[in-house]
Amino acid sequence: MINCKDLTENLDLYLNKKPIKGSSRLGIWMHLLVCKNCRVYAEQIKTVSELGPQVHEQEKKEDACSEEFKNDLVKKYKKTNPGL
């Protein structure tokens, strides 16, 4: 099984279903089953990856994000990270 450091180095590839060198997808999956901290980290990365394009689109529409849009992003992020 891989360790936390290996997981963080390969998580983006894993989430985007790209080839991973040196560690297997199964190893990452198994590590996520047993390591709560890495599961939380993976959810944070996934959330940021999903929200990033929304922010980019909003910025193209306006020079700055509206307060409502910013508050919505914070709510979505906190939903996946309840300790914040």
- The pTM is what? 0.65
Q: Where are the domains of the chain?
A: 4-80
pLDDT in tens, 65-76: 677 777 777 777
- Cα 48–Cα 29–Cα 13 angle in degrees, nearest 5: 50
State how far the Cα of 81 lies from the Cα of 83, in Å rounded to an integer: 6
In this predicted structure, which of 19-23, 31-35, 39-43 has the lowest mean pLDDT? 19-23
Query: E strands within 30-79?
Result: none
Instruction: Encode pLDDT of 54-66 as tens digits.
Output: 766 666 666 556 7
Distance of CA 77 to the CA centre of its chain: 10
